[in-house]
């Protein structure tokens, strides 16, 4: 689902002048964040709802989850912030960061930097899903009030889409993600510099 979503996004962004790689996607996201900061409140709300609805539609289609179920379980901003704080704290637990570091360090370089980075990103994604969200008994997804397993994880992502642009949530996840990516040996500051 993510390959299709990101592939389509990169294809569309190419028509807007962005490069068809991670740098182009990062630059677009940076520009979108600036737009959100500088837009009037009505436009911010329209952009937020549009972004949320796109993400929800993608997830509900890919995983056969009812939009009515999502709407029935929406969270308040306070609950969403508490949930993402729990997620961010789990992401930076020493065992998570060490596992990412060890698995990334054990990769054999292909000699192709983008391929090597893609392998590290895959390690990060696998560990985030399987150890952070779905690992443990009960899993973090269950502790946050969702059912166990993949469906609970996807449902949580659908519900959290409502609040994905909240500054505090972005801060929680952004700070944790920087530590995760650093553990994987991915220097995001170098990646985000304009070419």
> Which of 90, 120, 97, 124 has its CA nearest to residue 108?
120
User: Which tens digit of pLDDT belongs to each residue from 65-75?
Assistant: 888 887 888 88
Per-residue pLDDT for 195 more than 50?
no
State the DSSP code for 163: G
User: Residues with Cβ < 8 Å from 59, sequence gap 6 or more?
Assistant: 1, 65, 154, 157, 158, 161
Per-residue pLDDT for 59 more than 90?
no
């Amino acid at each position: 689902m993510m390959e299709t979503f990101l592939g389509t996004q990169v294809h569309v962004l190419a028509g807007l002048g962005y490069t068809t790689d991670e740098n182009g996607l990062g630059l677009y996201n940076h520009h979108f964040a600036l737009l959100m900061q500088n837009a009037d409140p009505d436009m911010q709300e329209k952009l937020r709802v549009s972004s949320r609805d796109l993400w929800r539609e993608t997830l509900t289609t890919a995983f056969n989850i009812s939009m009515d179920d999502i709407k029935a379980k929406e969270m308040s901003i306070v609950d969403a912030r508490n949930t993402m704080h729990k997620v961010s704290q789990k992401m930076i637990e020493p065992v998570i960061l060490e596992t990412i570091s060890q698995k990334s360090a054990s990769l054999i370089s292909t000699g192709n930097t983008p391929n090597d980075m893609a392998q590290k990103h895959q390690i990060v994604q696998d560990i985030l899903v399987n150890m952070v969200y779905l690992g443990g008994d009960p899993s973090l997804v269950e502790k946050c009030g969702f059912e166990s397993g993949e469906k609970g994880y996807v449902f949580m992502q659908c519900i959290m889409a409502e609040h994905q642009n909240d500054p505090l949530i972005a801060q929680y996840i952004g700070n944790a993600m920087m530590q995760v990516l650093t553990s994987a040996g991915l220097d995001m500051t170098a990646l985000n510099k304009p070419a």
